[in-house]
Amino acid sequence: MLKLKIQIQGATELMRACADLGRDAEDDLRDQAFDISRVVTDRIKYAAAASDRQSARAGRTVRERRDRYPVITAGPHVLLFGSEFGATRHFGWYARGRYYSSPGRQFRPHHVDSYWFFRTAEANAGYIESEWREVAEKIIREWPR
């Protein structure tokens, strides 16, 4: 399973302030973070569909999760890691001896970075950070202490 984690500066202080405001403020923060996650999840799914058929199938497992921070997960799916990072050898039934010298490839060539999930998520890191920070600061301003 893949999980996206992005570092947001000042997040700890903002979370402490939201915790002081009470449960309703935290629920509001969770709702807003879920909306941010939904936008980025859609972008990741579009990137998977545009990448290739294997990525499109694995991309259907990308989901947003309701939390105080924007959380996006993918998987489990048998094609997830092969479509995201590629591979240098054959797996499963294609690893049998009779397919050893087969010119066909099961996955794209191994790619150290990413083909669709992390590439798209990192491209949206600035969006996630700015939107989440704006939402958190708005909640701190609007909710009475």
Annotated domain spans of the chain? 2-77+115-142
End-to-end Cα separation, the chain, in angstroms: 39
- Note whether 116 and 59 are within 8 A (CB): yes
Residue 17 class from Cβ within 10 Å (0-12 exposed, 13-18 middle, 19+ buried)? Answer: middle
Residues in the chain, how many?
145
Q: What is the pLDDT of residue 47?
A: 98
How many other CB atoms sit within 10 Å of the CB of residue 34?
A: 17
Q: What is the pLDDT of residue 81?
A: 94
Torsion sign across C-alpha atoms 12, 126, 50, 107:
negative
What DSSP string describes 17-52?
A: HHHHH-HHHHHHHHHHHHHHHHHHHHHHHHHHHHH-
pLDDT reported for residue 145? 62
Instruction: State residue 3's pLDDT score.
Output: 74
Rounded distance between C-alpha atoms, residue 36 and residue 4, angstroms: 13
pLDDT at 105: 84
pLDDT, tens digit only, all 145 positions of the chain: 777 777 777 777 777 777 777 788 888 889 999 999 999 999 999 999 999 999 999 999 999 999 988 899 999 999 999 999 999 888 888 899 998 888 888 899 998 889 999 999 999 999 998 998 898 788 878 877 6
